[in-house]
Amino acid sequence: MRSYPLTVLKFGSSVLRSEADLPAAVHEIYRWVRNGHRVIAVVSAIGNSTEELLARAHAFGQGVSEHAVATLLATGESTSAALLSLALDRAGIPGVILDEVRLGLRTRGPVLNSEPCGIDVSAVERALETLSVVVVPGFVGRQDDGTVSLLGRGGTDLTAVFVAHQLGADCCRLIKDVDGIFEYDPASSERQPRRYRILTWADADRLSGGIVQSKAIHLAERNNFAFEVAALNSDQPSLICGQPAEFYEQQPDSKPLRVGLLGAGTVGLGVYRYLAAHPERFHITGIGVRHRERADGTPRELLTLNPWEVVDSDCELVVEVIGGLWPAKELIEAALKAGKHVITANKLVISHWGHELRALAARNGVQLLYSGAVGGAAPMLEQVRRIAETRGIRALSGVVNGTTNFILDRLADGMPRDEALREAQRLGFAELDPTTDLDGSDAAHKLALLAHVACGGGLHPNQIERTGIEHFDAEAVHEAARAGLSVRLLATLANGSDGVRACVGPQFVDRDHVFAQTRNEENCLEIHTQTGEVVYVRGKGAGRWPTAEAVMADVFDVCRSARTEVAEDYLTAGRVL
Ligand code: HSE
């Protein structure tokens, strides 16, 4: 029995047109990860690379070795698996590549158009015990003699459906550049065709016009296996299964969401780049900055030194990533009062004023989301909330400050403390005022937010006992490392019958302990449920891309809730209140 829901997502060349599309795939994967799923991401070669590789093979004429052709074409998928894995790593999402050998994907039949016949299920399960994502190059398998084989044109669909079926996945979604399957080709008529909510395998085969590989559809039908087809970031998949057809009643609203951005520093610039990559989805109304002279690609006409102009602009959503208590708190307050959704990564503001601001958001019928405030790309608030609602939380313990973790690792290597801190600042992990990292207050702010979600009520950061690492003897860290111990700044919370107790402080942990394995800016939370299980949440907890990933996940939640008929469920699932 798996303790997590498993989703297989397939990204084809129509979605991965170039490397610039990889972050969008990462956003999609992270959306599922933060909803508590483990994900198997099956990828096709990027853009036209399969055609290009095929042309290179054909340059040697007809009748050449099919094994050599298959091996050459397979490099397209292995390249895109490696690139997606790099993009996931940059975003701070823990994953691993299982190529066709490690996945044990065996095939039979013609080398270039073979049938899959088995995978090593336990290899996948082992990988997913500790990691959130497994990346699989689609289209490619191995014959019994170990030679490379291909699953035919469009074979990545077949890999995804086969792997999902073999693993008994909870969901298998083929992500396409169209949002599901239509009753006829939208380009062939003036009238807008209806989009299927549900359709049969036979209809999918007839109607998908090659969008879904026939072999994949037939394999699903033979095994009575349901799978979905949808666009990126969609809540309206077409489910292909054995049930009678149903249609969606309305098209989702595709108007871009108008976003005002406060801050274009470490995190803000990451968020800007992500938003700007999707002009069809996001219209940026203004960017509040400290300096207008910049050489980072932010358009001058959007920049303003006056953050109030951004709040007052024609935006539906304000993203606050300037940090600090003032004026961030007033800006958030003003935006909520003006009926705008707010997304922030500001743990300082939320840990001090969360109660008032949540009430203000509720009164104005808007959302206040702050996933990026805790754990970066480790979805700690979401996981703690889910467990609190289902199994209850007995205790929490973890590394929630990337800067101090990074510094402690450098001290263990013998680097002087000042140099380690400068390095953490250079890499964009530290706060504007790094004393709040070192003295444990950043960790205390995050623990206060976790406590609110875990136990309800409010725990003010001042109620958290706190010792930092600013006076911790650097030589002692180095000595401990030689003795097989690591020093970690741990945030802990006990939710007992006598109430909630919370503290932050340095502790020695054994080299094999999961917290000792939490390296550099990584964060890790150990959650003890009331039902006796222990659940871990891991990911990079500081820096531009992990924090921007969490902010974007909130942005996509707002985006979906603004435009679809079924958004309420997702909204509730993604909301942190
Ligand atoms: N300064 C924080 C840290 C940034 O190092 O964890 C992420 O909240």
Spatial distance between the Cα atoms of 450 and 396, rounded to a whole number of angstroms: 9
Same domain for 556 and 536: no
Å from CA of 472 to ligand 1 middle: 19
End-of-domain residue from the set 211, 228, 247: 247
Centroid of ligand 1 to alpha carbon of 137 (angstroms): 34
How is residue 411 written in tokens? 């001290």
User: Residues 245, 199: contact at Cβ < 8 Å?
Assistant: yes
Among positive and negative, which fits the CA dihedral 359, 324, 335, 234?
negative
User: Could you identify the atom of ligand 1 that is nearest to the CA of residue 404?
Assistant: 5
Q: Do 223 and 312 fall into the same domain?
A: no
pLDDT at residue 575 greater than cutoff 60: no
One-letter amino acid of 13: S
Residues 463 and 354 in one domain: no
Regarding whether 532 and 388 lie in a shared domain, the answer is yes
Please give the distance, rounded to the nearest whole angstrom, from the Cα atom of residue 190 to the centre of ligand 1: 53
336 and 368 part of one domain: yes
| C-alpha–C-alpha distance, residues 70 and 101, integer Å | 15
pLDDT band at 231 (very low <50, low <70, confident <90, very high): very high
In angstroms, the CA 76 to CA 109 distance is: 22
Q: State how far the Cα of 175 lies from the Cα of 408, in Å rounded to an integer.
A: 42
The runs of H, that is alpha helices, within 91-225 are 121-130, 155-167, 201-207, 214-222
State the Cα–Cα distance between residues 193 and 103, nearest whole angstrom.
40
Pair 107, 116: CB distance under 8 Å? yes
CA angle at residue 27 from 23 to 32, to 5 degrees?
A: 150
Mutate to test the pocket of ligand 1, among 267, 426, 442 (most ligand atoms within 8 A of CB): 442
For position 217, what pLDDT does the model report?
Answer: 97
> Tell me, what CATH number does 108's domain have?
3.40.1160.10
Contact 232, 24 (CB under 8 A): yes
Q: Which of 374, 426, 431 to mutate to test the pocket of ligand 1 (most atoms within 8 A of CB)?
A: 431
Q: Which atom of ligand 1 is nearest to the CA of 373?
A: 8
Does residue 34 lie within any of the structural domains? yes
For 177, other C-beta atoms within 10 Å of its C-beta total 12
Residues 6+ positions from 172 with CB-CB distance below 8 Å: 7, 8, 10, 160, 161, 164, 165, 225, 226, 227, 228
47, 17 Cβ separation under 8 angstroms:
yes
- Residue 360 has, within 13 A of its CA and on its CB side, a CA count of 22
Q: Look at 201-215, 324-338, 359-373, 479-493 and tell me which has the smallest mean pLDDT.
A: 201-215
pLDDT at 438: 97
The residues that are catalytic are 446
Residue 577 lies in a domain: no
Contacts of residue 313, defined as CB under 8 A and 6 or more positions apart, other chains included, come to 258, 260, 285, 286
Nearest residue to 411 via CA among 445, 383, 371, 438: 438
243 & 263 share domain: no
Which 8-state DSSP code applies to residue 566? T
Atom 7 of ligand 1: nearest residue by CA position: 542
Average pLDDT over residues 539-566: 89
With a cut of 90, say whether residue 571 has pLDDT above it: no
Please state the rounded mean pLDDT for residues 364-371.
97
Q: Mean pLDDT, to the nearest integer, of 146-151?
A: 97
Is the entire prediction scored with pTM above 0.85? yes
Among 197, 215, 247, residue at a domain's last position: 247
Question: β-pairing, 341-344 with 317-320?
Answer: parallel
Give the atom of ligand 1 at the shortest distance from the alpha carbon of 405.
5
Distance 573 CA to ligand 1 centre (A): 25
89-112 average pLDDT score:
97
| Residue 567: per-residue pLDDT | 36
Alpha-carbon distance 336 to 358, whole Å?
A: 9
Cis peptide bond upstream of 186, omega within 30: no
Q: How many domains does the chain have?
A: 3
Distance from Cα 147 to the centre of ligand 1, integer Å:
47
Query: So what's the pLDDT on residue 564?
Result: 55
Q: Whole-angstrom Cα distance, residue 257 to residue 254?
A: 9
pLDDT of residue 566: 38
Cβ atoms of 44 and 12 closer than 8 Å: yes
Cα–Cα dist 566/279, whole Å: 24
CATH value at residue 393: 3.30.360.10
Q: Which of 344, 409, 410, 437 has most ligand 1 atoms within 8 Å of CB, for mutation?
A: 437
SS3 string, 217-232, reads HHHHHHCCCCEEEECC
372 CA closest ligand 1 atom index: 8
Shared domain check, 505 and 479:
yes
Residue 252 lies in a domain: no
Q: How many residues does the chain have?
A: 577
Q: What is the pLDDT of residue 3?
A: 86
Task: Tell the residue nearest (CA) to atom 8 of ligand 1.
Answer: 542
Q: Provide the residue range defining the domain that includes 125.
A: 6-247
Residue 551: pLDDT band with limits 50, 70, 90: very high
Do residues 317 and 463 both lie within one domain?
Answer: no
CA of 391 to the centre of ligand 1 (A): 29
Residue 286 sits at φ, ψ, to 5 deg, of 175, 155
What average pLDDT does range 422-441 have in this prediction? 95
Which of these ranges, 67-71, 124-128, 395-399, 454-458, has the smallest mean pLDDT? 454-458
**Integer Cα distance of 2 and 21 in angstroms:** 31
User: Contact 72/86 with Cβ under 8 angstroms?
Assistant: no
Q: Mean of the pLDDT values across residues 81-107?
A: 98
In a domain? residue 231: yes
- In the chain, the percentage of residues whose pLDDT exceeds 90 is 89
Same domain, 563 and 447: no
Do 124 and 88 share a structural domain? Answer: yes
Ligand 1: which residue has its CA nearest to atom 4? 542
Whether residue 1 lies inside any domain: the answer is no
- 339 shares a domain with 391: no
Domain closes at, from 247, 270, 293 = 247
As a whole number of angstroms, the distance between CA 561 and CA 388 comes to: 24
Domain membership of residue 67 (yes or no) is yes
> Which atom from ligand 1 is nearest to the alpha carbon of 403?
5
Whether the pLDDT of residue 60 is over 50: the answer is yes
State pLDDT tens for residues 28-38: 999 999 999 99
Residue 269 lies in a domain: yes
Q: Note whether 80 and 218 are same-domain residues.
A: yes
Average predicted confidence (pLDDT) for the chain: 94
* Residues framing ligand 1 (Cβ under 6 A): 376, 401-403, 429-431, 437, 442, 541-542
Q: How far, in Å, is the centroid of ligand 1 from the Cα of 430? A: 6
Does residue 214 form part of some domain?
yes
Residue 182, pLDDT > 80, answer yes
Query: Residue 568 is inside which H or E element, if any?
Result: helix 567-574
In a mutational test of the pocket of ligand 1, which residue from 427, 429, 547 has the highest number of ligand atoms less than 8 Å from its CB? 429
Q: What is the CATH number of the domain that holds 356?
A: 3.40.50.720
Q: Which residue has the tokens 């909204």?
A: 571
The ligand 1 atom nearest the CA atom of 429:
5
